[in-house]
Amino acid sequence: MKTPEVRGSVVDHQTRCVHYFSDRDIIAIKFACCGAYYPCYKCHQDNAGHPVRLWERHQFNKKAILCGCCQKELSISSYLNTDNCPNCHAAFNPGCRNHHHLYFNI
């Protein structure tokens, strides 16, 4: 399967961006409003030209998280229930939890 395109200010092939580029910043999030992957909400804000629409709870089964390490997509609910990639076991940044409300209606 083709790897989804990640938009925004991406700085490497593991979806790090100019805003978040630690070892563990390896995911991109698909936005409900436009269906496009961005590394973070700031990249969406700078590039999309429209306000963010949050994922609603009944959509949490949708695959909207891209692991930049193995390029596999995971569902929102599995992402919210793990701190590493279920496929390649790369650790995700636990600090992202503080930003979940910017993406998901939780």
Q: Does 63 bind Zn ion (CB under 5 A)?
A: no
Give residues 78-97 in contact with Zn ion (rule: CB under 5 A). Answer: 85, 87-88, 90
Helix H, strand E, coil C: the string for the chain is CCCCCECCCECCCCCCECCCCCCCCCEEEECCCCCCEECCHHHHHHHCCCCCCCECHHHCCCEEEEECCCCCEEEHHHHHCCCECCCCCCECCHHHHHHHHHCECC
Shortest distance (Å) from residue 57 CB to Zn ion: 19
Q: Which of 6, 15, 16, 17 binds Zn ion (CB under 5 A)?
A: 17
Q: Does 28 bind Zn ion (CB under 5 A)?
A: no
Shortest distance (Å) from residue 96 CB to Zn ion: 12
